A and B are shown apart, each in its own frame.
Chain A
Amino acid sequence: GEDVEQSLFLSVREGDSSVINCTYTDSSSTYLYWYKQEPGAGLQLLTYIFSNMDMKQDQRLTVLLNKKDKHLSLRIADTQTGDSAIYFCAESMGSGGGNKLTFGTGTQLKVEL
């Protein structure tokens, strides 16, 4: 079955790095995603990684994937107050012509001055 887990909260100081972790159980996932959700808003796609990759870097964001341990992480360098939000990881599998995303429980990131 599909089960994606994240720690609920993370608090960091402005300028520090944030690392948000995610574990998943379905090894047949094709892509893994990171989405950001600000209060009362929809989901903003931050970045994604194909399942045969180990790492992807995109400006301040670094995604690491350990497929053996089914562990995904998102590192945000030089965290800013505007990064405060809930971060969801998601795994995807094809389904009926679409792409079913199973989301993690979400990690609330709080950035303190």
Chain B
Amino acid sequence: DAMVIQNPRYQVTQFGKPVTLSCSQTLNHNVMYWYQQKSSQAPKLLFHYYDKDFNNEADTPDNFQSRRPNTSFCFLDIRSPGLGDAAMYLCATSREQYNEQFFGPGTRLTVL
């Protein structure tokens, strides 16, 4: 089945130790998104790629970076995780700009 896959599902890292979260999709969608969802809060968009074009949200900290080496994969890099970065990170895709977004299962990040 076509889907959005996130690995790992659970990630534990140490304060300040770089971490990379992975998202892949078999939908061949042009747009890929990364959202951060803290406990009991709504998901918040960090950035998205339209094809190879990167679009950062104005309030996304510099600590968060992203890479999209090809259509299928998109990575979220957290350069120096702080305790406040512990959250669920959700990847989503959409075929084009105004199409609905399909979400992966998320990666829950714990920072020790």
Partner-B contacts on A (CB < 8 A) = 4, 30-31, 33, 35, 40-45, 48, 88, 92, 94-106
Please indicate the chain B residues that have their CB under 8 angstroms from the CB of A4 in the complex.
Answer: 42
Map CB proximity to A onto B1-36 as digits: 1 under 8 Å, 0 otherwise. Answer: 000101000000000000000000000001101000
Q: Say whether A45 contacts B101, CB under 8 Å.
A: yes
15 contacts between A and B (CB under 8 A): A31-B100, A41-B106, A45-B101, A45-B103, A88-B43, A96-B50, A96-B53, A97-B30, A97-B50, A98-B33, A98-B50, A98-B97, A99-B99, A101-B45, A106-B42
Q: Which residue of B lies closest to A6 (CB)?
A: B42
Chain B residues touching A, range: 20 to 34
Q: Say whether A42 contacts B100, CB under 8 Å.
A: no
> Shortest beta-carbon distance, B8 to chain A, in Å?
14
A-B contact count (CB 8 A): 75
| B90 contacts chain A at the CB level, 8 A cutoff | yes
| B81 contacts chain A at the CB level, 8 A cutoff | no
Please indicate the chain B residues that have their CB under 8 angstroms from the CB of A33 in the complex.
Answer: 100-101
Give the most central of B31, B43, B104: most A CB within 10 Å: B43
> Shortest beta-carbon distance, B90 to chain A, in Å?
6
Q: Which residue of B lies closest to A4 (CB)?
A: B42
| B102 contacts chain A at the CB level, 8 A cutoff | yes
Listed from nearest, the 8 A-B pairs whose CB atoms lie closest are A97-B50, A96-B55, A103-B42, A98-B48, A43-B103, A42-B103, A42-B105, A42-B106
Docked complex Cα distance between A40 and B31 (Å)? 24
Please indicate the chain B residues that have their CB under 8 angstroms from the CB of A101 in the complex.
Answer: 43, 45, 101
Q: Say whether A97 contacts B97, CB under 8 Å.
A: yes
| B72 contacts chain A at the CB level, 8 A cutoff | no
Please indicate the chain B residues that have their CB under 8 angstroms from the CB of A95 in the complex.
Answer: 48, 55
> Shortest beta-carbon distance, A42 to chain B, in Å?
4
Q: Say whether A41 contacts B105, CB under 8 Å.
A: yes
Q: Which residue of B lies closest to A108 (CB)?
A: B40
